[in-house]
C-alpha cells in the first residue's frame, strides 16, 4: 500500500497504516505543482528585497529584526538548531512516523513556500525507516510544536540524531547516508515551514484515537460479559427507549449490546424472575456512558480530519503573490477536543472498574466471593480490582485539562498558548491505563461467566469468552494475576475483543 499525499484527503486509517504498518508514501503530482508555484513567490520576494516575516526577519519577538537577503539560508539553519530544545524520553517510532507524515502532508497543501524537496525527503525517510530521535517534551502548542519539530528537522539537514537500526541513536547525517538519502540545504522560509505546525499534537491524537475507538467497541463487549455474569437484564437497551433520546453514540452502543446479548440462555433463565427490577448504573447505563464516549471521539476525529489536511505554518504564501501572517499554528482547536476525548476515555475506565468491583463482591454479584471456589483459603481476583482502582485514581489525576492553562512565551509576543501537546501526551497515557482497567474487567467477567455454565451467554458474548479462555485458563487455584492481565491486555490491543454480535 502506498499513501499518496495531496494535502487535502489524508485519513486516520492512512496515518495508522504509515505509522504502524510501514506503508510507503509519495507526493501527488498536483501537490508538487502547487508547492513550486508557492516557492516561486518566496524566491521573488527575496530577490526583490521585500520584508516578510520569517523570510527576511527574525522570529517571535525578534520579528522586528531585518535580515540581509544574503543571510536567509543561515537564518533558517539557525532557526532549526536553536529551536531543538526538547527534553524527556524520546517519542516512540510510530509517533515520529506520524509526525513526519503529517508534516509532509501540511507542506503538500502548497501554501508554505517550500521546495518539493522537503516533503519528498520526509517521504524518503519514511520509506527507508529513518526515524529522528525526538524528545517528547518542550512544546506549548502555540507557534506549533516548535521544539519537537525542530529535532525532526535537524535530521533533514544532516544534523541531530536518528535511530540506527538496533544500535540505538546516532548522528542524523549517518542515518540518511545509510538509507542512500541526501540532506537538504534550507532556503528562505523553509526552516520556519518545518517547525510551525501542530504535527506532534496531531500525531499523538491520531494514534490515540485509533486505539480509543477500538477500546470503546471492546468496552461494550466486556460490559456485556459482565452483565451476563451478574444475571443483568438487557431491558434498558430497548430500541424504543433508546430512540427517545437518540444521541448517535447511545443508539449505536445499545444496538451493539442487543446484538451481543441475542439468544442468551443465561438471559432467558431469569427473564421472568423478579430478582432485580433495575440493574445498577454501571450495567444499565452502558449505552448512555459508552455512547457519550463514542460521541466525544467522533468530535476529535472531525477536528483531526481538518487539521491533518491543513496548512499550519506562518506566514502562508499564496500563488497569487500574497503573503499573509496569521495564527494557523495555534493548537487550540486540537487541544480542546483532545482534552474532551481524554475525559471521555477516563469515563470508559471509571465505569469499567465499577463493574469489576461488583463482579468480585459476592454481596452484589451473586457469584463466589472474589470469584474463587474457596474464599478465605484463596483470594481469587481480589487484588486485580485493587489494581483497577489504582489506575482509575491515576486517570483522575490525568483528567485535568491542559488546555485551560497558558504560560506566555517569546517575551509575551506569544501571550496565549494552547498546551495541546501536554493534552495529547496525556491522552496517550490515558488510553494505555484505560486499556488495562478494561482487561481486568474482562478477566473478572470471564471468571464470572464460568460459574454460569452450563447456561450459555449471547453468541457475541460467548465468542469473546472463548477468545479470552483460549489465552487465559479458568482461575481454579490462586496464581499471580499480573501475567493474565497482561495477556488479556494484548488480546484487547490485537482487536480480538472487537466483536459485532
Task: Give the residue numbers marked as catalytic.
Answer: 53
What predicted TM-score, i.e. pTM, was given to this entire model?
A: 0.96
Measured between alpha carbons, how far is 229 from 141 in angstroms, rounded to an integer? 46
Measured between alpha carbons, how far is 427 from 293 in angstroms, rounded to an integer? 14
ω before 315 within 30° of 0 (cis)?
A: yes
- Three-state secondary structure string covering 475-488: CCCCCCHHHHHHHH
Contact of 482 with 440, CB cutoff 8 Å: no
80-89, 133-142, 269-278, 442-451 — which is least confidently predicted?
Answer: 269-278
Q: According to the model, what pLDDT value does residue 472 have?
A: 98
Residue 218: CA count within 13 A, CB half-sphere: 32
pLDDT class for 59, splitting at 50, 70, 90? low
The topology (CATH level 3) of 2-197 is: Fumarase C; Chain B, domain 1 (1.10.275)
Provide CB contacts within 8 A for 123, sequence distance 6+: 5, 25, 26, 27, 104
pLDDT tens-digit profile of 65-96?
776 777 878 889 999 999 999 999 999 999 99
Measured between alpha carbons, how far is 133 from 115 in angstroms, rounded to an integer? 24
pLDDT tens-digit profile of 429-454?
999 999 999 999 999 999 999 999 99
pLDDT tens-digit profile of 287-314?
999 999 999 999 999 999 999 999 999 9
Report residue 72 CA to chain centroid gap: 37
Measured between alpha carbons, how far is 375 from 357 in angstroms, rounded to an integer? 16
Domain with residues 204-493, CATH architecture: Up-down Bundle (1.20)
Helix (H, G, I), strand (E, B) or coil at 327: coil
**In the predicted model, is pLDDT for residue 362 greater than 70?**
yes
C-alpha cell at 202: 496531531
Q: Using only C-alpha atoms, what is the Rg of the chain?
A: 26
- The domain spans of the chain are 2-197, 204-493
Separation in Å, CA 421 to CA 189, 198, 333, 341, 428: 24, 8, 12, 14, 11
Measured between alpha carbons, how far is 449 from 429 in angstroms, rounded to an integer? 31
Amino acid at each position: 500500500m502506498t499513501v499518496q499525499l495531496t494535502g487535502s484527503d489524508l485519513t486516520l486509517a492512512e496515518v495508522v497504516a504509515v505509522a504502524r504498518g510501514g506503508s510507503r508514501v509519495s507526493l501527488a503530482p498536483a501537490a508538487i505543482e502547487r508547492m513550486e508555484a508557492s516557492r516561486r513567490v518566496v524566491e521573488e520576494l527575496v530577490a526583490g528585497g521585500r520584508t516578510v516575516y520569517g523570510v527576511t526577519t527574525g522570529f517571535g519577538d525578534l520579528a522586528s529584526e531585518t535580515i540581509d537577503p544574503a543571510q536567509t539560508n543561515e537564518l533558517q539553519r539557525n532557526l532549526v538548531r536553536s529551536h531543538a530544545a526538547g527534553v524527556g524520553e524520546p517519542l516512540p517510532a510510530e509517533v515520529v512516523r506520524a509526525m513526519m507524515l503529517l508534516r509532509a502532508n501540511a507542506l503538500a497543501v502548497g501554501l508554505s513556500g517550500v521546495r518539493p524537496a522537503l516533503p519528498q525527503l520526509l517521504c524518503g525517510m519514511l520509506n527507508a525507516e529513518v526515524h529522528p530521535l525526538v524528545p517528547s517534551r518542550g512544546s506549548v502548542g502555540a507557534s506549533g510544536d516548535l521544539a519537537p519539530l525542530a529535532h525532526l528537522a535537524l535530521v533533514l539537514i544532516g544534523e541531530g540524531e536518528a535511530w540506527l537500526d538496533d544500535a540505538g541513536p546516532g548522528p542524523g547525517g549517518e542515518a540518511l547516508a545509510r538509507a542512500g538519502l541526501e540532506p537538504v540545504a534550507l532556503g528562505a522560509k523553509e526552516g520556519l515551514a518545518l517547525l510551525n505546525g501542530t504535527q506532534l499534537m496531531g500525531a499523538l491524537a491520531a494514534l490515540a484515537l485509533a486505539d480509543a475507538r477500538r477500546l470503546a467497541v471492546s468496552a461494550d463487549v466486556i460490559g456485556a460479559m459482565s452483565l451476563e455474569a451478574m444475571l443483568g437484564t438487557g431491558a434498558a437497551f430497548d430500541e424504543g427507549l433508546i430512540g427517545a433520546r437518540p444521541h448517535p453514540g447511545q443508539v449505536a452502543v445499545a444496538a451493539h449490546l442487543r446484538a451481543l446479548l441475542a439468544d442468551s440462555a443465561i438471559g432467558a433463565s431469569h427473564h421472568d424472575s423478579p430478582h432485580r427490577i433495575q440493574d445498577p448504573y454501571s450495567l444499565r447505563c452502558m449505552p448512555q456512558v459508552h455512547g457519550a464516549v463514542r460521541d466525544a471521539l467522533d468530535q476529535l476525529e472531525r477536528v483531526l480530519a481538518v487539521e491533518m489536511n491543513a496548512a499550519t505554518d506562518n506566514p502562508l504564501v499564496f500563488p497569487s503573490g500574497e503573503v499573509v501572517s496569521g495564527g494557523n499554528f495555534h493548537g487550540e482547536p486540537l487541544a480542546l477536543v483532545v482534552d474532551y476525548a481524554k475525559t471521555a476515555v477516563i469515563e470508559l475506565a471509571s465505569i469499567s472498574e465499577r463493574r469489576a468491583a461488583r463482579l468480585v463482591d459476592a454481596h452484589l454479584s451473586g457469584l463466589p466471593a472474589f470469584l474463587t471456589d474457596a474464599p478465605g483459603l484463596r483470594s481469587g481476583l481480589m487484588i486485580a480490582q485493587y489494581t483497577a482502582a489504582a489506575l482509575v485514581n491515576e486517570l483522575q489525576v490525568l483528567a485535568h485539562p491542559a488546555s485551560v492553562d497558558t504560560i506566555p512565551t517569546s517575551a509575551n509576543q506569544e501571550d496565549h498558548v494552547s498546551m495541546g501537546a501536554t493534552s495529547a501526551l496525556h491522552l496517550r497515557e490515558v488510553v494505555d491505563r484505560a486499556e488495562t482497567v478494561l482487561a481486568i474487567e474482562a478477566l473478572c467477567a470471564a471468571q464470572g461467566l464460568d460459574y454460569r455454565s452450563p447456561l450459555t451467554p449471547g453468541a457475541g458474548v460467548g465468542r469473546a469468552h472463548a477468545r479470552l479462555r483460549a489465552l487465559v485458563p479458568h482461575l481454579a487455584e490462586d496464581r499471580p494475576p499480573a501475567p493474565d492481565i497482561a495477556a488479556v491486555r494484548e488480546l484487547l490491543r490485537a482487536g480480538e475483543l472487537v466483536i459485532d454480535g
